[in-house]
């Protein structure tokens, strides 16, 4: 009667564009012969074939005898013209097949004339004529006609017609077709129709939608002969699609070959009613009263028409239309077979259309002949009455929840997808060339060590030659006089030169010297002047002689010449130190640790990404971009580097570059949920909502597949074993109520509301884990890289997609963004809501403790941290929980507790600060040996911490070691100790123990 309440589909619609033809082109049809006619009817004798196209009969063949083997030779030819102005346009050729009917001719009986009855029908698809084909030869199966003698014959008939179709010239070349596009629209059914719809053989139903054309023009697409079906079983899947023309004698011939409606999960659809809460309604509607079409219609999009002035250009109009409104109107009307019916339509607000297709284009659609019209009475009706009819008609669809299921498909995307090769090339163009990384210090160090070994080897060989010539000089023989020494030197030089050994020794040193020039001095090109060469040789000579002396001194003194030990800290520890400095707001120190980590291994991608994430929020976004691009240079196929380059490009408002990075990431790793979700968020920022929804849909599909695979693996692992009952519901596991809550869970609550929430949570069953969504998976990644803007976008989607309201994880992530921006009131509100949802979550209390700590509310921070460590499950950032709780204990002079907490931190992840905490606590407990050991550990991890040197100075003063105390104090001052109280304590200790000038 009028537009449905909802539209459910699978792809965005597109528009039809008709190629131009200057002159009509004849389409020649030849029916060669039929075979296996005996399978349709065993006693068939004479037949003829009738050819029809687009509702018109093209001709009948002559009567032909059926041979004993069931064949009949027709050799019948006919034709029709394909013309832009005639009834058979290219658009008709795309969507309508050729209809062939085999008729049985019965001979005359007495005075009765001969009787002609339909035997079978076949269809031939003419689409190949638009695909660059001039001639096609097909074998079209014949389908039996019901209500004829054939119905009682063999059900597996194999009869068919051999048909050839040809044109004198190509309708469209292969290039024209490949540059265009084929649009297919399948209208499956209308479900949950109003109660007023009743099964009536005198009515069927028609739907219409318009395809955007040039300018303001639009082309209508009709779906006729919809059948209203009563309650019963839902339509089977898969089921064939039908050709878009009226009823024919053999219903099976309406089925399009190899084209089926296969259905699928509701979540994969693009329209409305795709959420999990709509599933029950959809299932029920599919088995109740519905209108079924199952019809497919096709249109051709001519991309070549864009360049032709005389042709209609459709694609830009389509893109403009989708940009303005992605909803298209679909109207529904009843058609009275016996008498004139009525079609009603209302104002279509959602589609921004203010008119009815059926009413305003009745003459163009030729609906008067179809029984759709307006009676004379309705023509004279007042506008007020018409408006009331429209409003009433629209209301019944809305109340019934009527929705359509359609499939809209393009052979190729409307906007062609960029190839992977092009994306790789564009990414390389976006990353500017950078100078080569400086050689690693380990390389220069290694060649110098190699030079030392060569010098040592040559020295040992020369000493051996000396001993062979003059013997070993014994200690009791006294000191050799100068003249004897010079004579032995002359003889040794003579022997080495005449034997060639001098040249051999020189060659041994040659390659070591060359390596020093390349690795140490980075000299690989020729000198421009002699003066420059001479200056370099002088410098090199001094350097080589100095290191020769170093090597010889080690040899003669018997020192160990083994290489220096590796650094005490690893890249993992440096990352921990950097994050500690970050948490303490010492951004300069944090930056230094990040850069040290990069210097340790400049080819480590993660080091560059971590420093870039730090720069993204605390320093310059341009510096972050340099870090991410450097990581991408090291590995152009690193998915995280691509995504981070896209994120920072958005922050720098480089949107075209960002699109390249996100698209390349999705193309590189099409199974990445995070890549598709991030790309969708980006497109949404650019107001490309269609593309955004497409990417979100792909991410959701991947997540469902992942969860299904995890469920399948879990079920396979469990087998048929009986699942153990939950501890919270098994009475044998909990003899009393004491096990329901962790120790000290009710102690130290910060408010009455939180105490009530904890009590209720301990009495209620354990909360179920929140459903995993693409947005929360992406939020986890974004929080690690400090992409605050994208986190807010993802959380906004998470809030809309949740069924039972925001989750604890949602509020935790939102609180993190506010804490990063130091918006403490909003952060506190989020954490309050998170506690109400899951009061036994250690991460909630850890984050609440951090908030109180930053607000210098140390009493509440201490209570929150103590609660965190009382839980069986650790929070994600236990390291900082230990550090801050330990510092609070030190401040409150609870040194025993502080020592315990800091030792837990050392066991969890040792750092300079954790061992410093242990050292301070031990010092205050007067455990000097343990304090010194702990501070030595801290110093080994980071010897630039002024506070460590300060406490070492105190310990040395306590032990009477003045020289060591002075050395430690000098390092304290040099490193700029900021702790004034500690500085005063050191000077007081110096004065108390009487060690020199207190000011040193």
pLDDT given at position 347:
46
Higher pLDDT: 510 or 868? It is 868
Q: Which helix (H) or strand (E) holds 359?
A: helix 357-360
Task: Please give the pLDDT value at position 346.
Answer: 45
571: which 2 tokens? 């890249």
Q: Binning pLDDT at 50, 70 and 90, where does residue 964 land?
A: confident
Lowest mean pLDDT of 49-58, 361-370, 718-727, name the range.
361-370
The structure tokens 């028409």 sit at: 305
Q: Is the pLDDT of residue 63 over 70?
A: yes
CA distance 683 to 793: 11
Percent of the chain that is helix, strand, coil (3-state, to 5)? 50, 15, 35
What pLDDT, on the 0 to 100 scale, is given for residue 65?
94
The residues facing 184 across adjacent strands are: 298, 409
Q: Does residue 91 contact residue 18 with C-beta atoms inside 8 Å?
A: yes
Q: Do the bridges between strand 255-261 and strand 239-242 make them parallel or antiparallel, or are there none, so unpaired?
A: antiparallel
CA dihedral 695, 699, 700, 706 (to 10 degrees): 160
DSSP state of 474: P
Residue 340: pLDDT band by 50, 70, 90 thresholds? very low
| Mean pLDDT of the region 517-538 | 79
Q: Is the pLDDT of residue 574 over 80?
A: yes
Say what the pLDDT of residue 201 is: 61
What percent of the chain has a predicted confidence (pLDDT) above 70? 79
732 or 664, higher pLDDT = 664
| 964 torsion bin: left (phi>0), alpha (psi -120 to 50), beta (else) | alpha
Residues 874, 870: Cα–Cα separation, whole Å: 9
Q: Is the pLDDT of residue 95 over 70?
A: yes
Whole-angstrom Cα distance, residue 421 to residue 636?
Answer: 12
Q: Which of 198-202, 444-448, 698-702 has the highest mean pLDDT?
A: 698-702
pLDDT of 930 higher than 70: yes
**pLDDT above 90 covers what percent of the chain?**
40
CA distances from 685 to 659, 688, 758 (A): 11, 8, 40
Q: Residue 948 above 90 pLDDT?
A: yes
| Range in 122-131, 135-144, 366-375, 905-914 the model is least confident about | 366-375
1, 333 contact by CB (below 8 A): yes
Q: State how far the Cα of 397 lies from the Cα of 194, in Å rounded to an integer.
A: 6
Q: Pick the more confident residue, 473 or 737.
A: 473
Least confident of 15-29, 371-385, 405-419, 951-965: 371-385
Contacts 24+ apart (CB under 8 A), 362-369: 364/220, 365/208, 365/220, 365/222, 367/343
pLDDT band at residue 969 using 50, 70 and 90 as cut-offs: confident
CB count, 10 Å around CB of 754? 16
Is the model's pLDDT at 644 over the cut of 90?
A: yes
The residue with greater pLDDT, 317 or 77, is 77
- Residue 561 clears pLDDT 60, i.e. is over it: no
pLDDT grade, residue 745 (50/70/90)?
Answer: very low
The residues that bridge with 187 in the sheet, in sequence order, are 295, 406
For the segment 964-974, the average pLDDT, to the nearest whole number, is 86
Which two structure tokens, joined as six digits, stand for 141? 């199966």
Q: Which of 143, 165, 179 is nearest to 254 (CA)?
A: 143
The Cα 163–Cα 147 span in angstroms is: 26
Q: Is the pLDDT of residue 764 over 90?
A: no
Of the pLDDT bands very low, low, confident and very high (cuts 50, 70, 90), residue 682 is: very high
pLDDT of residue 216: 56
Task: Round to whole Å and give the CA distance between 906 and 779.
Answer: 30
pLDDT reading at 26 higher than 70:
yes
Distances (CA, A) of 805 to 243, 764, 802: 46, 19, 6
pLDDT tens-place string over residues 274-333: 877 888 999 999 989 999 999 999 888 765 433 332 333 344 456 666 667 777 788 888
Contact between 268 and 701 (Cβ < 8 Å):
yes
pLDDT, mean of residues 64-90: 92
- Residue 349 above 60 pLDDT? no
Query: 972, 991, 997: which is closest to 983 by C-alpha?
Result: 972
Asked which of 20-24, 330-334, 541-545 is least confident by mean pLDDT, the reply is 20-24
Confidence of residue 987 (pLDDT cuts 50, 70, 90): confident
Q: How far apart are CA 640 and CA 628, in angstroms?
A: 9
CB 292, CB 235: distance < 8 Å: yes
Average pLDDT, the chain: 80
Q: Can you give the pLDDT at residue 312? A: 35
Q: Are 523 and 536 in contact (CB under 8 A)?
A: yes
Task: Tell which wins on pLDDT, 349 or 66.
Answer: 66
Q: What is the pLDDT of residues 401-411, one digit of tens each?
A: 999 999 988 88
Question: Residues 878-904: what's their mean pLDDT?
Answer: 94
H-run or E-run covering 301: strand 290-301
């Amino acid at each position: 009667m009028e537009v449905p309440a909802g539209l459910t589909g699978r792809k965005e619609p597109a528009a039809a564009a008709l190629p131009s033809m200057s002159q009509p082109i004849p389409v020649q049809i030849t029916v060669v012969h039929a075979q296996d006619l005996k399978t349709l009817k065993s006693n068939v004798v004479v037949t003829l074939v009738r050819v029809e196209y687009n509702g018109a009969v093209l001709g009948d063949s002559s009567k032909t005898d059926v041979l004993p083997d069931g064949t009949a030779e027709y050799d019948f030819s006919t034709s029709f013209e394909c013309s832009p102005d005639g009834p058979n346009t290219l658009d008709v050729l795309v969507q309508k097949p050729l209809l062939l009917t085999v008729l049985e001719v019965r001979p005359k009986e007495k005075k009765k004339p001969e009787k002609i009855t339909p035997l079978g029908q076949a269809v031939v698809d003419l689409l190949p004529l638009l695909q660059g084909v001039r001639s096609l030869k097909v074998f079209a199966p014949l389908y039996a006609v019901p209500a004829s003698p054939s119905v009682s014959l063999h059900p597996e008939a194999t009869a068919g017609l051999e048909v050839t179709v040809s044109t004198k010239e190509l309708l469209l070349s292969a290039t024209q077709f490949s540059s265009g596009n084929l649009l297919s629209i399948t209208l499956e059914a209308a479900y949950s129709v109003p109660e007023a719809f009743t099964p009536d053989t005198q009515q069927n139903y028609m739907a219409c939608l318009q395809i955007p054309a040039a300018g303001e023009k639009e082309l209508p697409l009709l779906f006729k002969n919809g059948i209203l079906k009563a309650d019963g079983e839902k339509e089977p899947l898969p089921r064939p699609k039908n050709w878009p023309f009226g009823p024919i004698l053999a219903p099976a011939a309406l089925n399009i070959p190899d084209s089926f409606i296969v259905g699928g999960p509701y979540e994969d659809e693009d329209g409305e009613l795709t959420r999990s809460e709509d599933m029950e309604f959809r299932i029920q509607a599919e088995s109740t009263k519905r209108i079924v079409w199952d019809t497919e219609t096709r249109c051709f999009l001519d991309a070549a028409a864009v360049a032709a002035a005389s042709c209609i250009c459709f694609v830009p109009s389509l893109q403009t239309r989708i940009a303005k409104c992605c909803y298209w109107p679909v109207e529904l009307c009843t058609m009275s077979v016996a008498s004139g019916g009525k079609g009603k339509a209302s104002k279509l607000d959602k589609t921004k259309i203010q008119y009815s297709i059926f009413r305003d284009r009745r003459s163009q659609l030729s609906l008067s002949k179809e029984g759709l019209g307006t009676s004379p009475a309705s023509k004279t009706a007042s506008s007020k009455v018409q408006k009331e009819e429209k409003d009433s008609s629209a209301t019944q669809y809305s109340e019934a929840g009527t929705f359509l299921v359609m499939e809209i498909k393009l052979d190729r995307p409307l906007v062609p997808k960029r190839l992977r090769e092009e994306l790789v090339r564009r990414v390389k163009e976006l990353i500017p060339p950078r100078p080569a990384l400086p050689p690693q210090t380990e390389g220069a160090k290694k060649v110098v060590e190699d030079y030392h070994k060569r010098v040592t080897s040559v020295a040992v060989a020369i000493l051996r030659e000396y001993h062979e010539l003059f013997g070993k000089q014994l200690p009791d023989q006294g000191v050799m006089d100068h003249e004897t020494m010079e004579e032995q030197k002359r003889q040794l030089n003579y022997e080495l030169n005449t034997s060639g050994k001098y040249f051999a020794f020189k060659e041994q040193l040659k390659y070591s010297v060359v390596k020093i020039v390349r690795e140490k001095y980075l000299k690989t090109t020729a000198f421009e002047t002699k003066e420059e060469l001479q200056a370099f040789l002088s410098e090199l000579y001094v350097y080589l002689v100095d290191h020769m002396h170093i090597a010889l001194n080690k040899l003669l003194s018997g020192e160990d010449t083994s290489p220096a030990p590796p650094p005490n800290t690893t890249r993992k520890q440096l990352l921990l130190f950097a994050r500690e400095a970050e948490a303490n707001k010492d951004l300069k120190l944090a930056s230094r640790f990040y850069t040290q980590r990069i210097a340790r291994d400049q080819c480590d991608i993660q080091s560059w990404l971590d420093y870039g994430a730090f720069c993204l929020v605390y320093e310059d976004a341009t510096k972050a971009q340099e870090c991410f691009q450097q990581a991408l240079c090291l590995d152009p196929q690193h998915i995280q580097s691509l995504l981070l380059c896209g994120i920072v490009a958005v922050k720098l408002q480089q949107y075209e570059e960002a699109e390249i990075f996100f698209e390349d990431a999705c193309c590189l790793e099409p199974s990445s949920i995070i890549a598709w979700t991030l790309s969708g968020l980006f497109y949404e920022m650019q107001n490309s909502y269609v593309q955004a929804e497409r990417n979100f849909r792909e991410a959701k599909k991947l997540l469902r597949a992942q969860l299904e695979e995890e469920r399948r693996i879990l079920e396979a692992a469990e087998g048929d074993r009986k699942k153990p009952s939950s501890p919270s519901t098994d009475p044998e596991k909990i003899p009393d109520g004491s096990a329901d809550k962790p120790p000290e869970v009710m102690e130290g609550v910060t408010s009455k509301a939180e105490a009530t929430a904890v009590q209720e949570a301990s009495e209620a069953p354990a909360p179920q884990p929140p459903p995993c969504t693409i947005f929360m998976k992406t939020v986890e990644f974004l929080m690690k890289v400090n992409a605050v803007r994208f986190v807010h976008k993802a959380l906004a989607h998470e809030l809309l997609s949740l069924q039972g309201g925001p989750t604890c994880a949602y509020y935790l992530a939102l609180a993190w963004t506010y804490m990063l921006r130091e918006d403490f009131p909003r952060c506190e509100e989020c954490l309050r809501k998170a506690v109400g949802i899951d009061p036994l979550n250690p991460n909630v209390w850890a984050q609440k403790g951090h908030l109180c700590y930053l607000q210098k509310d140390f009493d509440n921070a201490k209570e929150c941290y103590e609660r965190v460590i009382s839980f069986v499950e650790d929070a994600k950032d236990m390291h900082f929980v230990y550090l801050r709780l330990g510092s609070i204990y030190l401040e409150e002079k609870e040194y025993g507790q502080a020592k315990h907490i800091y030792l837990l931190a050392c066991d969890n992840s040792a750092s300079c600060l954790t061992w410093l905490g242990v050292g301070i606590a031990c010092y205050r407990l007067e455990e000097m040996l343990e304090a010194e050991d702990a501070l030595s550990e801290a110093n080994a991890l980071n010897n630039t911490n002024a506070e460590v040197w300060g406490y070492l100075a105190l310990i040395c003063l306590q032990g009477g070691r003045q020289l060591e105390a002075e050395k430690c104090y000098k390092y304290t001052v040099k490193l700029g100790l900021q702790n004034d109280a500690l500085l005063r304590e050191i000077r007081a200790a110096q004065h108390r123990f009487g060690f020199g000038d207190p000011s040193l």
